[in-house]
Amino acid sequence: METVLDCCPSSEKYLVPALDRGLRVLCEIGREEQGVGAPELARRLNMPRTTVFRLLATLEQLGFIERAPNGRDFNLGMAVLRLGFDKLASLELTQLGTPLLERLRDEFNYSCHLVVRDDTHVVYVAKAAAQSPMASSVNVGTRLPAHATVLGRVLMADMSLPELKDLYPQGALARRSAFTPGSVEELYQLLAQDRERGFAMQDGFFESGISTIAAPVRNASGAIVAALGLTIPSAQWVQPRSETLVQRVRHSADQLSTLLNYRGQKA
């Protein structure tokens, strides 16, 4: 008799090798912010260069990757972004969060963002842009290193030191500014401070001239599933107003958590 497992097999014998290799190439390109070339891909994935070249040509023809300005390296293309945008538009998180971002944006005229974590990166999944020439230029779909962003710190706030070491087995962390932690241990100490406060706030942490306030969004199980943040040009930062901004960001994040069925820490 045929079973569900017979109809939906998961055995490796049903894998399509060419598709598997193509998706591995695509995922590896997605890890790089500045692009990556065929020789490096062949080395990382332990594939023949000729195979990598054919896979790249196919992916480029279909629009899933595109050439970097130097003509040798590749970045993700619009076909991947379209798939991602379609998925993001259907997510409960973005559907529920976007009105809250827009309300917060309208109250202060600062750009607001909602991000999730993908391994060692944050991914922007929703944005409410301020009507200002100094508004944040980050777009939905942008990926940034989690350890080097205030929003990323919020997303990792509940992680233990062993969990962080598993996430960053190399130990050393790439510095993006004078404030970026250079090691997992430094990152953990920073996260402990954020966890104690219940939010993260810093000027110029990832990019000079930009201040960010962010708070965690939790789901029904209490896990941090997103970070909600407000981006403020440093030139417009007014210290007496910071407490009000923090309160409003935390309130918006708490509202979204409630919509996701979070009911607070269990006794």
% of the chain with per-residue pLDDT over 90: 46
3-state secondary structure at position 106: helix
Per the structure block, which two tokens stand in for 66?
């595109």
Per the structure block, which two tokens stand in for 136?
């944040």
Give the pLDDT of residue 9.
47
| Burial (CB count <10 Å: 0-12, 13-18, 19+), residue 79 | middle
User: pLDDT at residue 6 above 90?
Assistant: no
Q: What mean pLDDT comes out for the span 241-247?
A: 86
User: Which residues fall within 8 angstroms of residue 243, CB to CB, at 6 or more apart?
Assistant: none
- pLDDT tens sequence across 111-162: 999 999 988 899 898 999 988 655 566 888 888 999 999 999 999 999 999 9
User: Hey, which CATH number is domain 11-79, 1.10.10.10, 1.10.286.10, 3.30.1330.60, 1.10.287.90?
Assistant: 1.10.10.10
The C-alpha atoms of residue 208 and residue 112 are separated, in whole angstroms, by: 18
Contact 37, 28 (CB under 8 A): no
Per the structure block, which two tokens stand in for 189?
């100490």
Contact 56, 25 (CB under 8 A): yes
CA dihedral 138, 204, 175, 41 (to 10 degrees): 10
Domain boundaries, the chain: 11-79, 91-259
DSSP conformation letters of 162-216: HHHHHH-TT-B---SSTTS-SBHHHHHHHHHHHHHHTSEEEESSSSTTEEEEEEE
Class of domain 91-259: alpha beta
